Amino acid sequence: MPMRLGVALWAIVLLTGFAPAPLPRAPRSTDAAELLKKLQGTWEVVVHQDDLPLPGNSRRLIHIEGESWRFQTVRGNALQPNRSALSYRIHLDTTSKPVRIDLQRQPRIARRGNLVEQEARVSATPIYQGVIELQGDTLRWCYVMAGGNREVVRPTSLDSPPPGAVLMTLRRVQP
């Protein structure tokens, strides 16, 4: 009997000692809502590849509020009134690496006295298709303009943009 017990204990030790290791966990993708929250605020374009220089001492700002992305130009220290500024709705895909971002143009609203008119034709307007990488207060964005009859290739990397893509580096503006 003690011999059987010894063999059984030895078999248990051997079987549990060589049990397979658990499978590695899949990397956790960043939640889109969490990333969108981190993007909130005002960003200044510090590097804009393949772009014409801004006139004088102008700066280009990007405002992200809620799910809206809006561009604005600053000349000197004065924000330029931009009543017709275009606003884009942000769509994030955090399952891909780097994170995919699409900016779909939102209807422009014009105010004329007491009347508010909303632009009707928005679906045919171009959207920005790209990828982003957020590191602290630095945001890198590589994009192409899509829409119309143009065939475009969405960037899949910030290190090797496809032909026609633009790479931007933005820094968060501290309030």
Q: Are the beta carbons of 35 and 92 closer than 8 angstroms? A: yes
The reply to whether 38 falls in a domain is: yes
Q: Are the beta carbons of 102 and 127 closer than 8 angstroms? A: yes
The reply to whether 149 falls in a domain is: yes
- Number of CB atoms found within 10 A of residue 25's CB: 6
pLDDT at 52 over 60: no
The reply to whether 3 falls in a domain is: no
pLDDT at 136 over 90: yes
For 62-74, how does the pLDDT look when each residue is reduced to its tens digit (9 = 90+)? Answer: 999 999 999 888 7
pLDDT of residue 127: 86
The reply to whether 41 falls in a domain is: yes
Please state, in angstroms and rounded to a whole number, the distance separating the CA atoms of residues 57 and 52.
14
pLDDT at 36 over 90: yes
Two structure tokens written together for 38: 């981190």
Mean pLDDT taken over the chain: 79
The reply to whether 25 falls in a domain is: no
Percent of the chain whose pLDDT exceeds 90: 38
pTM equals 0.70
Residue with tokens 């298709």: 129
pLDDT at 76 over 70: no
164 band by pLDDT with thresholds 50, 70 and 90: confident
Domain with 114 in it: 30-172
How many domains does the chain contain in total? 1
Residue with tokens 């000197």: 76
The reply to whether 51 falls in a domain is: yes
CATH code of 58's domain: 2.40.128
The reply to whether 18 falls in a domain is: no
The reply to whether 21 falls in a domain is: no
Look at residue 150 and give its three-state secondary structure: coil
